[in-house]
Amino acid sequence: MQYYGHKINKTARVFSKKLNNVLSPMGLYSSQWGILMCLHYRSTLTQVQISNYLDVEAPTITRTLTRLEEMGWVIRAEGEDKRERYVSLSPQAQAKFPEWLDAAIQLEKAALRDIPEEDLATFNRILQKMNDNLNNLQLAESESEQDSPIS
């Protein structure tokens, strides 16, 4: 049996470690980069939307956003509901973003070296299908929990 989840997790850890090596001289880490990239491409989001998109627990996102705000990379503003916080990139982060993106792209190019485009297209389809299967599994699990007489 192949342990695909283990292999994906191991590869993600290696990639994150290498990304940290590339970004840390610029004052960033991979967990922060994920949030900054999300905000760059999706504009202003709530903390909940960021948490859902990255599939990271809300307290972890809150801590990371606090650090990014202290560094001057994000701006948080209250929403109409005082519990809701909107987050966007600061002008300083917008100016710095191309440098961060270039570093991440160079690492990705190195990781993908000598892999044919058709293999990458297959890889993307497989990852999407795995994500869909896992998300549907979560949905099925939560539905069965709701049907449980113990709830």
Q: What pLDDT does 151 receive?
A: 46
pLDDT in tens, 86-117: 999 999 999 999 999 999 999 999 999 999 99
CA–CA distance, 44 with 94 (Å, rounded to integer): 13
In this prediction the pTM is: 0.81
pLDDT in tens, 4-56: 999 999 999 999 999 999 999 999 999 999 999 999 999 899 999 999 999 99
CA-based angle 16:21:26, to the nearest 5? 110
